[in-house]
Structure formats: structure tokens, C-alpha cells
Structure 1
């Protein structure tokens, strides 16, 4: 019983923090869903962005929780910097994964095309033309006029010129003439 009385301040702070985390997750989710609805963004992409943001909120929650319970900030920063160094070295070889995830989030919020649009990617030696079938976390799936499936990494959308040939008039998977 003495434990509960001794740490009452930390217990109350932890309760408030948990409430703030749940409310912020719900609020952020609602805002992103509202934005996605007005921008006609598909549900799968919306859920992916919400998932990324929830992971960030969870990481901040644990850091704050550790601070509430008395771990020194310098110890946390030493641990985080050590973990970040290890992850940084490991991910250096996998930079394209992080680049594609970041590009996927940017595509979600700001790019002028969506699923169903016919696009032309101006690659140096090889023009890629197709209808966007899916925009995922790592890549965009296109279907060419010949029916080929073309997988194009998200980060290349920021390195290549892209023309929107035609916006879809309806939601079927064939090109609109």
C-alpha cells in the first residue's frame, strides 16, 4: 500500500498520459480520414498513414512514460542514440525502404494522381505508361494497355517526370478513351 501512496504523482501522470494518447490517436485518425474522404483517397492508404502516425505516437508515449517514472533524460538520450546508431547502420543498406515509405506518405498527401488515373512516367530510356491500380507503402502498381503489371517504387515518382494522360470517368480497370 505504501507503494501506491509513494508514487501517486507518477500514477496520476501516467493515467493522464494514457488518456491523452488515446484521445490524440482518435483525433489524428479522424482528421486523416476526413482529409482522405474530401480528397477521394482510398481506405487502404488512409489506414497505412494512420498506422505510421500511431507508431510515432506510441514511441512518444513510451519516452514520456519513462520520463514520468524518473529515468534521467540523459540516460534516455544515450539509449535512444545508441539504438538509432545501430538502426542507422543497419538501415543504411536499406535506405530505399525508408525512402519508399516516406515517398508513400508524401504521395498520400500531395500528389495529383490517384488510383484509376492513366499516367506516363518519363524514364530516361524506357517510357512507362499504365493505369494506377494500387498505391502502397513501398510501390505503385500500374497496368499497361497490354495488360502487364508494372511495379514502380514510390521514391522514383519524385525523380521522374510524370504525365497524367486521362483521369478516369468511371471506376472500371480499363483505360478511358
Structure 2
């Protein structure tokens, strides 16, 4: 046991100092977040979320410093961190896009004022669209222009743009899936 301690003495002392400093920094950051939350009358849930972010930050710093203490080179750490963050970034971007369209589809299900068969105009300065709603799906709408062109329009963009009703046809889509 003493041989292990003696051979890794410097790394163990460095690790202990880093852990003590990070615990102190975490304590200070948590106290500061609580103080700011109380002073600004921020919702307790948002303050707790900030505390989770502080914990994650401190853990990432601890992993980085411990890896250096135990002999990992900076080039190896840079390769690992860049690879992990690239994968996380791509995954979060893909998930964000999918989730935003699904969430918009759910919102449109409960509170979308337009129905299948209505003619709407999407007020977009780059590409204004006037078309008939053919179908409302979970991710997008199928819109048919006067020229017969089928446009697939993402739900999340539809909720971000101004939309006006041009003509109400009042078609019923009851029994559509009964076939």
C-alpha cells in the first residue's frame, strides 16, 4: 500500500488539492446562484436548473484536471473532448429539429385555427405561400398551390410565421383513416 502511495504521491496530492478547490468553487457558485435567484425573484425551478448546470461544469473541469494530473497529454484530451462534443452537437441538433416539429404538431392539433381544405396565406418576406391545406401531419403540412404544386411545410415554421385565412371550405376529415 505504501509503495503505491509513494509511487503516485505527486498525482494523489494534486488530485486531492484539485478536488478541494473544485468543491470550494462549487460551493461559492451555488451560493451565488441562490443569492441571485432570491434577489431577482427568479423561479425556484430555474434556480435549481442553474445549480445542475454548475454541477455539470464542475464535473467536466474535474475530469479535465484529473486526466492531466494522471498523465494524459493535452493533445489526447483535445481529441477526446472534440470528438465527444462533435457527437453531442450533431445529436442535439437532430433531436432539436425533430422535437420542435413534433411539439408544433401537438400544439397545432389542439389550437390550430385552420382545417384541411382551407386556403391559407403564409406571410414570409422571402417566399410568401398561398395554398390549400391538403393534410396536417405530425411533422409538416401538405399544401397545394393554385398551380398544383405540392409544398411540404414544417410545423415549427408555420407557428413562427404570420398566417391568414383566405378561404374556409369547412371540409370534414372525419373517417379519413377508417378505410
TM-score, normalized by length of structure 1?
0.52
1:77 CA displacement: 0.9
1:5 corresponds to 2:1: no
Question: 1:106-126 deviations in whole A, cap 9, x for unaligned?
Answer: xxxxxxxxxxxxxxxxxx99x
Asked which structure has the greater CA Rg, the reply is: 2
Unaligned 5+ segments in structure 1 are 100-123, 126-158, 161-177
| Unaligned residue ranges in structure 2 (runs of 5+) | 101-121, 124-159, 162-179
Partner of 1:22: 23
- Aligned equivalents of 1:83, 1:5: Cα separation in 2: 34
Shift of 1:95: 3.8
Aligned residues: 102
* SS of aligned partner of 2:71: coil
Superposition RMSD in Å: 2.5
2:58, 2:51 → 1: CA distance? 10
**2:12 and 2:70 mapped to 1: Cα distance?**
9
Q: CA deviation at 1:58?
A: 0.5
Instruction: Tell me the TM-score normalized by structure 2.
Output: 0.51
Aligned to 1:34: 35
Corresponding position of 2:53: 52
Q: Following TM superposition, by how much is the alpha carbon of 1:96 offset from its aligned partner in structure 2, in angstroms?
A: 5.8
Q: Which runs of 4+ in 1 moved over 6 A?
A: none
User: Does residue 79 of the first structure (1) align with residue 61 of the second (2)?
Assistant: no
